[in-house]
Chain A
Amino acid sequence: GENVEQHPSTLSVQEGDSAVIKCTYSDSASNYFPWYKQELGKRPQLIIDIRSNVGEKKDQRIAVTLNKTAKHFSLHITETQPEDSAVYFCAASIEYGQNFVFGPGTRLSVLP
């Protein structure tokens, strides 16, 4: 089955700096890669996703890149703000295959 690894497990950046979180997956059939943000005690919320027919997707300060050959994808957050502090989870799935595997999460702290 699919296995998703995520690095780093914790990340501290200064406000205004960029943050990058990387995930690798094992199943070459996976073709849908969402990212979720979870604040303390809250539900994970989708922040951005990418499908395998696209190499990069951007939404304001957030971008995701995908390298299908290497089987890894990354989340980039620019101009970080304190409210970006949260745990971020990546996931991989086979679209229409209906199985979601999450990475172990990255705790991002943005220091003022």
Chain B
Amino acid sequence: DSGVTQTPKHLITATGQRVTLRCSPRSGDLSVYWYQQSLDQGLQFLIHYYNGEERAKGNILERFSAQQFPDLHSELNLSSLELGDSALYFCASSAGGGDGNTIYFGEGSWLTVV
């Protein structure tokens, strides 16, 4: 168990809909990262937050948005969903400036768009 909690674990939704994925980082971690992994693909970096502020953005679509709340949990919002958005979405966290930069992944949220 990495200590990073993601919900829901599985989600099936229809095209055009909107979903929210939730992530609770490890206790004490200030950084939260979101990655998208399509079937048999690599880890595509979406966005990084540190202590509530956006720090870096990857190839995140305009239909996607994220935020990190004062209690450090993060949400990834996916809207106007398309079939191609079906993927495994990982959240990861790190201390982000503490004792190192190791990032730890949650179990992921499987999103299926039908």
Contacts and interface: CB of A to CB of B under 8 A. Distances in A.
Interface string B86-107: 0010101010110011111111
A52 to B, nearest CB: 12
The bracket for how many chain A residues form the interface is 20 to 34
Contacts of B107: 42-43
Taking each of B43, B50, B92, B108, which has the highest tally of chain A beta carbons within 10 Å of its own beta carbon? B43
A101 B81 CA distance: 26
A43 B43 contact: no
A76 to B, nearest CB: 20
**Interface range for B:** 20 to 34
Contacts of B45: 100-102
B55 to A, nearest CB: 6
Interface of B: 2, 31, 33, 35, 42-43, 45, 48, 50, 55-56, 88, 90, 92, 94, 96-97, 100-108
B76 to A, nearest CB: 16
Interface of A: 32, 34, 36, 41-46, 49, 89, 93-105
